[in-house]
Amino acid sequence: MDAPIRQAVESADTNAPRPPAAVPALPGDAGFWTFIAADAILFALLFFQFSLDRSHHAQVFDAERGELVIALGAVNTLVLVTSSWLMARGVRSASLGDIDSTLRWITGTVSLGGVFAVLKITEYVLEIRFGHAPSTSTFFMYYFMITGIHLVHLLAGVIALSAISLRLRSAPNYGRNRVFLECGASYWHLVDLLWMFIFPLLYLAR
């Protein structure tokens, strides 16, 4: 980025108060938030169903929870919140006209998404080696299903953000890509938001 542009971008930042939004609005395309809301409701139902079933077999669930590789889940939590931060930085850069930086932030986001997926699959392999599978117990059914459905969502997000990145690369124009970028970012933040509950629910709560 040219030095004068970099200066302009950075001085637009700092201490000036943010003007309030003129009209309350959802980022990206408003209709897409129906998709986000539906996903949020799906996971709320998963959390409810898990909690209900756990209440009938609390001790068994807790014993099996102890078989999880909590460290990998913990690392993944940090990976995902960081990826979400990078995504937010990417949206901010784009709104300031700095598409080059946006592309770098999105690459970071997608890379961390990849790290999450690799760690998650490693966890699955370890659990299967320990003798746990979706069919071995109710707890592990929920573990594999909830984290598996989440992983599918994450991978879909990786694909979507990669496509948005390619689009930005071929036509580095914020106006034409704003809706795609904000929808992609909102979806990614949802994936992160869901994990904020999934991790403590499955790995930590007793």
Partner 1 sequence: MNQTKQALANAWIGLVVLSILSFAIAASSGIGPAIETLIVIAFAAMKGRIILVWFMGARSFPQAWRVFFAMWLLVNAVVIVGFHLVSPA
Partner 2 sequence: MDENEARLVRLCGWSTFVFLALFCLGWGVLGRNIPPYGADMPAADLAAIYRQHAVSLRVGFAIGAASTTFLATWAIGLFRIMVAMERGGSLLSYCQLIGGILTTMVPFFACIFWLTAAFRPEQDKSIIRLLFDMGWLTIDIGFGVTIVQYVALGIVALRDKRAKPLFPKWLAWLGIWIGLEFLVELIMPQFRSGPFSWNGLFAYWLPFFAPFVWMTGVAVFMIKAATRLNGEYESSPAAVSAATAS
Residues contributing to the site for partner 1 (CB under 8 A)? 13-14, 18, 21, 24-27, 33, 37, 40-41, 44, 47-48, 51-52, 54-56, 58-59, 61-62, 70, 74, 77-78, 81-82, 84-85, 87-89, 91-92, 95, 182, 185-186, 189, 192-193, 196-197, 199-201, 203-206
Question: What is the enclosing helix (H) or strand (E) of 169?
Answer: helix 138-170
Query: What does each C-alpha distance from 168 to 37, 84, 107, 108 come to in angstroms?
Result: 26, 19, 12, 15
One-letter amino acid for residue 128 of the chain: I
Show the tokens assigned to 141: 């059914």
CB 203 to partner 2: min, Å:
20
Binding-site partner at residue 174 among partner 1, partner 2, none, CB < 5 to 8 Å by type: none
Tell me how far apart the alpha carbons of residues 146 and 141 are, in angstroms, rounded to a whole number.
8
Helix, coil or strand: residue 127: helix
CB nearer to partner 2: give 32 or 61. 32
CB 194 to partner 1: min, Å:
9
DSSP 54-100: HHHSHHHHHHHHTTS-HHHHHHHHHHHHHHHHHHHHHHHHHHTT-HH
CB nearer to partner 1: give 3 or 52. 52
Residue pair 181/91 in contact by the 8 Å Cβ criterion? yes
Binding-site partner at residue 109 among partner 1, partner 2, none, CB < 5 to 8 Å by type: none
Could you say which of 12, 42, 125, 205 contacts partner 2 (CB under 8 A)? 42
Pattern of binders to partner 2 over 113-152, x per CB under 8 A? ---------------------xx--x--x---x--xx--x
* 39 Rama class: left (phi>0) / alpha (psi -120 to 50) / beta: alpha
CB nearer to partner 2: give 137 or 162. 137
Positions in the binding site for partner 2 (CB under 8 A): 29-35, 38-39, 42, 45-46, 49, 53, 134-135, 138, 141, 145, 148-149, 152
